[in-house]
Structure 1
Amino acid sequence: MLNKNTLSTLCQGAVDASIEAGQLIQSQVDQPHDLQDKQGGYSKASQVVTEVDYQAQEIILKHLRPGSSQYDLGLLTEEAADDRSRLHTDYFWCIDPLDGTLPFTEQRSGYAVSIALVSQSGDPVIGVVYLPDEELCYSAIRGEGIALNGQPFRLDRSSDDRLLHVYMDRSMQSADCFTAFIEQMKQWAKAENYQEVVYHVGFGAVRNALAVLSHANACYVKFPRPQQGGGSIWDFAATRLIYEELGVPVSNSKGEKLRLNTPETTFMHQQGVLYATTDRIAEMVLEIKV
């Protein structure tokens, strides 16, 4: 087990790494980028990579290598092959150096840097997310709450907004379940006296999860599907801890813990994903039949 002081030191290293990588990313946002193909899931977003992804990854690894060596930490990072050290070490770094490559190359909001330290059992103990275009850094240590740019962060529960905000990936719109999902959301929102359901599409997974927290009533949904993909462990590790520390719902599509270290695959298509601002919204989504 890593003690409190060690976790604090490792977390600060991840914060520094995320900020330096994010500053590099933001400095390149208005430049032309060659989109390279890579082995990914079913969506275009999971199949593209740029030179900036690799540069950001190297910056992050530079910061994390000393602690990784000292504490024998494994590594899982998006732009490198899974060496499966995550299955043999007590903890592993789980890194997405540039989540939301598509919005980044399209020069619009929706990208982020995500770093988590995850136990072999699949539970994150450190979670760091940096939003380069907003210069915001969220950091969490299990049991220690959330910091935003180094200051304590809590949800603003004062809004009486009666809109229901739903975040989803672009690929959701072409899924077989999409029509049924939209209709059931409409019926439920009407029964709960929401004024309207507002759909948000186009962010990366990390930014989707954090954007939910900016509303009083919101969720981010991904349903299981047979095609390989559905995001990967690194898309959800840091934000899972942020949600758990805030005490708001995060689960797979069965209401169980998001499994973040399955031996068979790093993909999440078999699980589905649910982030929500309230238990009531989470319960509603879990009841949807698609």
Structure 2
Amino acid sequence: MQDTPSALTDDELDRIRAAIAEAGRIALSFFAEGARTRAAVAFKGDRSPVTDADIAVDRFLNDALTRIRPDAGWLSEESADDPARLDRPLTWIVDPIDGTRAFAEGGRDWAISVAFVREGETQAGLLWAPAHDLLYEARAGAGARRNGLPIRASRQQEIAGARIAGPRGMLERLGRQGHAIVAMPREPSLALRLARVADAGLDAGLAGENAHDWDIAAADLILREAGGRLSTAGGAPPRYNGRLPVHGRLIGANNALAPRLVAALAREEAGR
């Protein structure tokens, strides 16, 4: 019988914090608040931007994190996908800069996302937003923190009056059902959008189709440990490190509000 892969130790978590802090310094060396980045910008096949900063952070984290747990596979937005990760029970899932477009244009709403995943479920998640000086982190079963202090999702139970950020189409679907929500500005970093649900800055965060593991794996655990959940359109929790690391519509909210939003969006979809 194969041994269950071991969890991260406190020392390993300290090393991850140090690595993500250094990754932030690397990213900030290219960042110009309110102005275009000093990094070269290119565009992928889907027209999403990638900068030299993304690549530099990715390379640094690949080296630093695989030194901490060389038994874990690697999945990152900016690395070529190695199918060998599918045979590993442990996986690092990383977005070197979530919110690259905002980063490139001088906006502050971007973050570095690191998740440590075991057999499809996140065991530790860290989200570092250097331009805001905010570190969100969680370990499975140990609660969620922002800059070292415990955080909890909001207690909003009704859709009416809920502060919700996400794609316009999903917000409009709720409105067509008569739900008087408070539509909030769409956070360009999906990871930060979910983290702000975890710290009660939002009541709910929605995502359209095509979110990837690296966008959500760390923030998912942070939200869950803060008393919330991230759900698929069918109400199930996402799983990670699959062959195709992409997801459909997602709903993040506290444990009372999330199922109501899932049901409301499903009803609207069924009535179209």
For the 8 Å contact 1:216–1:277, the answer to whether it is kept is no
For the 8 Å contact 1:220–1:276, the answer to whether it is kept is yes
Q: Please say if 1:111 is aligned against 2:116.
A: no
Aligned equivalent of 2:231 = 251
Aligned equivalent of 1:87 = 86
Q: Please say if 1:284 is aligned against 2:269.
A: no
Aligned equivalent of 2:41 = 35
CA distance in 1: counterparts of 2:213 and 2:219, whole angstroms: 11
CA distance in 2: counterparts of 1:126 and 1:51, whole angstroms: 27
Amino acid at match of 1:153: P
SS of aligned partner of 1:108: coil
CA 1:286–1:18: 2 relative to 1, 3 Å: farther
Aligned equivalent of 2:16 = 14
For the 8 Å contact 1:54–1:79, the answer to whether it is kept is yes
Amino acid at match of 2:245: T
Query: TM-score, normalised to structure 1's length?
Result: 0.80
CA 1:48–1:157: 2 relative to 1, 3 Å: closer
Q: Deviation at 1:223?
A: 4.1
Aligned equivalent of 2:142 = 144
| RMSD (Å) for aligned C-alpha atoms | 2.5
Aligned equivalent of 1:183 = 176
Unaligned runs of 5+ in 1: 190-195, 225-229
For the 8 Å contact 1:165–1:212, the answer to whether it is kept is no
> Can you list the C-alpha shifts for 1:157-180, whole angstroms capped at 9, x where unaligned?
599xx9422111xxx34x5x6643
CA 1:216–1:81: 2 relative to 1, 3 Å: closer
CA 1:158–1:116: 2 relative to 1, 3 Å: closer
CA 1:216–1:239: 2 relative to 1, 3 Å: closer
Match runs of 1:46-125 below 5 Å: 47-69=48-70, 72-120=71-119, 122-125=120-123
Of 150, 153, 169, 1:153 maps to 150
Q: Deviation at 1:138?
A: 1.7
For the 8 Å contact 2:152–2:200, the answer to whether it is kept is no
SS of aligned partner of 1:29: coil
SS of aligned partner of 1:11: helix
CA 1:156–1:205: 2 relative to 1, 3 Å: closer
Of 161, 164, 185, 2:162 maps to 164
Query: TM-score, normalised to structure 2's length?
Result: 0.84
For the 8 Å contact 2:136–2:195, the answer to whether it is kept is no
CA distance in 2: counterparts of 1:216 and 1:188, whole angstroms: 20
Q: Deviation at 1:217?
A: 5.7
Aligned equivalent of 1:205 = 190
CA distance in 2: counterparts of 1:19 and 1:153, whole angstroms: 20
Unaligned runs of 5+ in 2: none
CA 1:216–1:111: 2 relative to 1, 3 Å: closer
SS of aligned partner of 1:201: coil
For the 8 Å contact 2:229–2:254, the answer to whether it is kept is yes
For the 8 Å contact 1:34–1:50, the answer to whether it is kept is yes
Q: Deviation at 1:282?
A: 3.9
CA distance in 2: counterparts of 1:81 and 1:51, whole angstroms: 16
SS of aligned partner of 1:28: coil
Between the aligned residues of both structures, percent identity stands at: 23
Aligned equivalent of 2:26 = 24
CA distance in 1: counterparts of 2:211 and 2:155, whole angstroms: 32
CA 1:236–1:51: 2 relative to 1, 3 Å: same
Q: Deviation at 1:65?
A: 2.3
Q: Deviation at 1:153?
A: 1.2
Q: Please say if 1:131 is aligned against 2:108.
A: no
CA distance in 1: counterparts of 2:252 and 2:103, whole angstroms: 23
